[in-house]
Amino acid sequence: MMSEMIREDGRKYNELRPIKIEAGVLERADGSAYLEVGGNKILVAVYGPRESYIRRLLEPNTGVIRCRYNMAPFSVDDRKRPGPDRRSSEISKITADALRPALMLENYPRSMVDIYIEVIEAEGGTRCAGITAASVALVDAGIPMKDIVVGCAAGKVNDEVVLDLSEVEDKEGQADVPIAMMPRTGEITLLQSDGDLSQEEFEKAIDLAMEGCRKVNEIQKEALMKKYSAEMSD
């Protein structure tokens, strides 16, 4: 039975890797977060909304969000060549697109929100983990949001649809479906699909990833509660 299937790292098909999130870990940023999921370690700093210092990006009727996803050279097995490449540019763009619907940027004309995602160690699923951490950092920065965006992937490994692929599962598996969503409305703000899936498997993967998002969202809320309840009792 599928629910009995044990994966390489001992997880059930619908089990997330161990995850922890901490809000407000950097002094200088307006908002920040640190996230670990499986072997991923990700740090996010958020600045803004602040006056746009890049004139060509300035929009008279709305604020603008910019995102930089970056992998440290020591974050992967083979040294990662420093600096942007096609993959990190793509992830920076889809991350901004995934977060933008939650932000009320129309309230901040001529201004800019900057998000810096630093992958310190990578072990599969960093784009989703980056979105999850960035959303906590945005809340920590006090930026009004409609919802906390959360990312999680499902995929296909050994002909089974499974939740939250590790790096090995990503590399050896048949498909990877990362999503991001706003849990309150269920609105999907990122949907990518890499690999081969039947329509039935694809739908199953989305359902599973949404279930994963809801679980991760609880951890996001706990991290924020922990930071702000501690501050209130100071």
Give the interface with ligand UDP as residue ranges (CB under 6 A): 76-77, 80, 87, 122-127, 167, 170, 176, 178
**Smaller CB distance to ligand UDP: residue 40 or 52?**
40
**Smaller CB distance to ligand UDP: residue 52 or 132?**
132
Q: How far is the CB of 133 from ligand UDP (least distance, A)?
A: 13
Q: How far is the CB of 113 from ligand UDP (least distance, A)?
A: 22
Q: How far is the CB of 128 from ligand UDP (least distance, A)?
A: 6
**Smaller CB distance to ligand UDP: residue 109 or 195?**
195
Q: How far is CA 230 from CA 8, 105, 107, 133, 234, in A?
A: 38, 29, 30, 20, 6
**Smaller CB distance to ligand UDP: residue 131 or 137?**
131
167: enclosing H helix or E strand:
helix 167-172
65: phi > 0 → left, psi -120 to 50 → alpha, else beta; which? Answer: beta
Query: What is the identity of the amino acid at 63?
Result: G
Residue 128 exposure: Cα atoms within 13 Å on the Cβ side: 33
Cα 162 to chain centroid distance, Å, stands at 18
Q: How far is the CB of 125 from ligand UDP (least distance, A)?
A: 5
Q: How far is the CB of 228 from ligand UDP (least distance, A)?
A: 29
CA 137 to CA 129: how far, in whole Å? 12
**Smaller CB distance to ligand UDP: residue 58 or 72?**
72
